Amino acid sequence: MKFYEIHDPYYALIKAKDEADAERFYNEYISDTDDYENFQDEEINEVSRDYALSEYKRVMKKYGETDHHLIMETFNVPAGEMLLWDGSLT
């Protein structure tokens, strides 16, 4: 799996098999319009696994999840998914 980060219009950290899959996740779960079907190169960035894990752990701990085993187990699920998203969307 690869990891992708989008900052605008809403933040998302996505685990996906490729950039097209990440865009599909974003459009399905985050965007409420079809305006983001053709991301520009600067709008979606592939990030390293270490960076994605660091961000995921930071946010999970911020919201009270401190069980390292559970965090790793969830992060390492071998399927594409939304890992983090903009808090204003909840």
Which of the four pLDDT bands, split at 50, 70 and 90, describes residue 59? very high
Indicate whether 36 pLDDT > 80: no
Average pLDDT over residues 59-71: 90
Q: Which residues lie closer than 8 Å to 84 by C-beta, 6 or more apart?
A: 11, 12, 13, 55, 56, 59
Q: How buried is residue 14: exposed, middle or buried, by Cβ count under 10 Å (0-12/13-18/19+)? A: buried
Q: How is the chain split into domains, by residue range?
A: 2-89
- pLDDT of 27 reads 86
CA-to-CA distance for 62 and 26, rounded, in angstroms? Answer: 23
Which of the four pLDDT bands, split at 50, 70 and 90, describes residue 43? confident
Q: What is the pTM of this model?
A: 0.85
- pLDDT of 66 reads 85
CA-to-CA distance for 8 and 43, rounded, in angstroms? Answer: 7
